[in-house]
Structure 1
Amino acid sequence: MPASEHIVRFDAVEKTYDGANIVVKRLNLNIRRGEFLTMLGPSGSGKTTSLMMLAGFEAPTSGAILLDGRPIEKLPPHRRNIGVVFQNYALFPNMSVAENVAFPLQMRKVSKADQSKEVQAALDMVQMGQFASRKPAQLSGGQQQRIALARALVFKPSLVLMDEPLGALDKQLREHMQLEIKHLHEQLGISIVYVTHDQGEALTMSDRIAIFNDGVVQQLGSPNEVYERPANPFVARFIGDNNALQGRVESVDGLVCRIQLDGSQQMVRGRSNGSLRPGSRTTLSIRPERIQIDPDGKHENVALATVEEVIYLGDHVRVRVSALGSSEIIIKVANGAVGSSELAKGGALNIGWSESDCAALQ
């Protein structure tokens, strides 16, 4: 029988610790074989609990979890054959690096000769081959995380789970490790389920992102889909910077709607997902980098704005303006763009954006 397209399936899975508060609510989620899927969301959203149920460290209250088509809710963690990487490394301090990496092989009764060969290959894979005899305390945080990764990969699992694995690293090292893990995933072709609250990390590394809030997946899609086509105001707010303007739908023509903004006499045009009707309340989502200063007339939406604040951030300038009844509209202007050096608090300017860059959400 050919292997299923999906390596993991959550089927109506729920989790409650006290019988009253449901932490994960009827989770239905299929994880494709060989994909890098990130569970993203704020603290308490249910993402880590979902990962822990898949790993076997938590049991679902109801529903089924299938791995390679077999239910695993009652299977202990060590029999699931899943690699796990934690934020705190979880290395044995009294063991050498090589002994730490060899531990999963010892548990699987692999011969000493094969252990030595597999450990060396795993350490070389994460560029730590020369550190085999050291103890974890003699390594930096980034090096310890590489060892934890080697230990999760050494027994060649088809699925690896990662729970905030880079959270303890500094920004530069974290970004470097993001690309290393992404390249390892591409090289090995394994399935990875990755938990983080860092939106940039999720956008950088993932094939698909499941965005959690209040125990429910709000949207599941590629990084491009969840950023460019957010399903609701929460997703728009949580993924990337976002301008949210409130208003009422005046008219709908296909997937284009005209909106009367709160606190403004001006109408704007936005892109609907098809569910809006005249009279509906809506939240407009506009990414800061999609708003143009001194638009060239090709934009469907234009407005007069007053500069409230200018912040220099190196590669771009962050400008906060008052316009359309709001004093909190943010614009990102590329450093060196025409007019970027002339922006000053109190100055007046014209801004504009396309209707295709303005999502009308419910």
Structure 2
Amino acid sequence: MLRIENVSLTLGDFQLKSLFLHIENPEYWVIIGPSGAGKTILLEMIAGIHKPASGRILFEGNDITHDQPKDRNIAMMYQDLMLFPHLTVKENILFSVKIRRAYNVDTEAKISDLISILGIGHLMDRNPDTLSGGEAQRIALARALIQKPRLLLLDEPLSALDSMTRERLRQEIRKIHEHLKIPIIHITHHFEDVYALAEKVAIMQDGTIVQTGKPEDVFAHPCTPYVAQICGTENIFRGEAIPDGTGSILNLGDLQIRISAQHRGPVVAVLRSEDIIISIQPFKSSARHTLQATVTELIPSGPFIRVVLDTGIRMIAIVTRTSSEELSLMPGDEVFVTFKESALHVIPTGEQTSEEIMTGMI
């Protein structure tokens, strides 16, 4: 459906570089990355606001690289909703249709459909300055969808909302995606959006896409320490792998772990906090690693507790408040930490120095 092939673009001091992205089905894609990675510029290039210096963009089999935005049948909704304050809600929704002189007998049916999906019928005669944040988001979404686009681009659509409104709108956006069956590309800084909406995820760094895939695959198997950090992994360990028969020994500072995979040389090992089990007695399983640890700190984090552990190296695990109370965890307690070997992902780093590895993680 959408193929971005080796695209580059320069805007002032910023560059999109040799960028590839292939969306074959009407999937929900979420793009994450730090500020300045080029996420919004990528969406604007897909929409036709910026023209690439090289490469091409194919959409539904057609080369749209140099097409005007109005000819692409792609809608984009910005974080800044840009509703017109002098128009009513209904007039805002119909603005793009009327400016294109595309109002016809089907338009009212489209509006009725959107009103039903988004629950905005009671807002039609209101002015934008009387709307709540969630209501304004729904109106901006309706304005984008009234065009019946074949692709919807969302630039941080939920970032300015409170958590309850954000969750309601996630449900509505999911319903819209299921109803319209078109691809959606959504930029966000909220991992809850990824977990709730994404079928595929793309990670951006310095103007290029460095990894794509299903969220669970990318989070569990980041291709670089940078991706691991962007995906929220707190346990990122530098070390060296030494082949040992059919497996390897990972030397991670004061901790050694044997794994079945063979690696040699400098590596970074990553372990997600939610994959660590804390117990008073050790687990007995050949498929798991069990280490003795000392609890050094308990950090409240909403409904969870982040447990900082000393296993010879610093580790962080996440437990529910109930689990923490049941284990009676206190700083200084001696416990066991257990994780599956498959949860420990090893990234070879070649001959990089420790400083180079850390630079890639920042």
TM-score by length of 1: 0.89
Q: State yes or no: 1:269 paired with 2:258.
A: yes
Query: Partner residue of 1:344?
Result: 330
The answer as to 2:317 corresponding to 1:331 is yes
Residue of structure 2 in register with 1:10 after alignment: 4
Give the direction of change, closer, same or farther, for the CA distance of 1:92–1:349 in structure 2 (3 Å limit). Answer: same
Determine the C-alpha separation between the residues in 2 that align with 1:314 and 1:45.
29
User: Aligned AA for 2:316?
Assistant: I
Q: Residue 353 of structure 1 aligns to which amino acid in structure 2?
A: F
- Report the residue type matching 1:351 in the other structure: V
Distance (whole Å) between structure 2 residues aligned to residue 186 and residue 172 of structure 1: 22
**Which one-letter code corresponds to 2:75 in the other structure?**
G
Say which SS state the counterpart of residue 337 (structure 1) adopts.
Answer: helix
What letter corresponds to residue 309 of structure 1 in structure 2? E
Name the structure 1 match of 2:172: 180
Q: Counterpart of 1:285?
A: 270
Distance 2:241 2:48 in 1: 47
State how far apart, in whole Å, the 2-side matches of 1:258 and 1:201 are: 37
Native 8 Å contact 2:156 2:187 kept in 1: yes
Structure 2: gaps spanning 5 or more residues: 349-362
What residue identity is the alignment partner of 1:308?
A: T
Question: Cα–Cα, structure 1 residues 348 and 98, in superposed 2: closer, same or farther, change >3 Å?
Answer: same
Name the amino acid aligned to 1:301: H
Aligned-pair distance for 1:111?
4.0
Q: Deviation per CA, 1:111-145, whole angstroms, max 9, x where unpaired?
A: 45433332232222211012111111111111011
Partners of 1:150 and 1:168 in 2: CA distance = 18
Q: Which of 32, 36, 39 matches 2:31?
A: 39
1:181-237 deviations in Å (ceiling 9; x for gaps): 112101221111111222331232111001111122121001111122222212221
Cα distance between partner residues in 2 of 1:284 and 1:340: 30
Partner of 1:3: none
Please tell me whether residue 359 in structure 1 is matched to residue 345 in structure 2: yes
SS in 2 for 1:307: strand
Query: Hey, what's the Cα distance between the residues in 1 that align with 2:245 and 2:178?
Result: 43
Q: Per the alignment, in what secondary structure is the counterpart of residue 323 of structure 2?
A: coil
Structure 2 contact 305–324 (Cα < 8 Å) conserved: no
Deviation of residue 345 (structure 1)? 1.2
Per the alignment, in what secondary structure is the counterpart of residue 274 of structure 2? helix
How many angstroms does 1:17 deviate by?
A: 1.8
| Paired position in structure 1 for 2:351 | none
Q: Which residue of 1 aligns with 2:212?
A: 220
1:41 CA drift (Å): 0.8
Displacement of 1:303 after TM fit? 2.4
Alpha-carbon distance between aligned partners in 2 of 1:101 and 1:16, rounded to the nearest angstrom: 34
Secondary structure of 2:322's aligned partner: coil
> Taking every aligned residue pair, what percent have the same amino acid on both sides?
33
- Corresponding letter in the other structure for 1:350: F
Match of 2:250 in 1: 259
* Structure 1 residue 32 displacement after superposition: 2.2
Q: Secondary structure at the match of 1:169?
A: coil
Residues 64-115 of structure 1, C-alpha deviations (whole Å, 9 max, x = no match): 1122222223222122111111111111111111111112221342345433
Whether 1:152 and 2:149 are equivalent positions in the alignment is no
Contact 2:296–2:309, Cα closer than 8 Å, also in 1: yes
Which amino acid in structure 2 is aligned with residue 70 of structure 1? N
Distance across 1 between alignment mates of 2:87 and 2:318: 50
Return the letter of the residue paired with 1:79: D
**SS at structure 1 position matched to 2:8:** strand
Aligned residue runs from structure 1 range 78-89, under 5 A: 78-89=70-81
**Alignment coverage as a number of residue pairs:** 345
TM-score by length of 2: 0.89
Q: Which ranges of structure 1 fall in alignment gaps of 5 or more residues?
A: 1-6
Partner of 1:322: 310
- Which piece of structure 1 moves more, 33-42 or 298-307? 298-307
Are the equivalent residues in 1 in contact too, given 2:32–2:202 (CA < 8 A)?
Answer: yes
- The amino acid of 1:320's aligned partner reads V
What amino acid maps onto 1:99 in structure 2?
E
What SS is found at the alignment partner of 1:175? helix
Q: Secondary structure at the match of 1:236?
A: helix
Q: Following TM superposition, by how much is the alpha carbon of 1:9 offset from its aligned partner in structure 2, in angstroms?
A: 1.0
CA RMSD of aligned residues (A): 2.1
Q: Which runs of 4+ in 1 moved over 6 A?
A: none
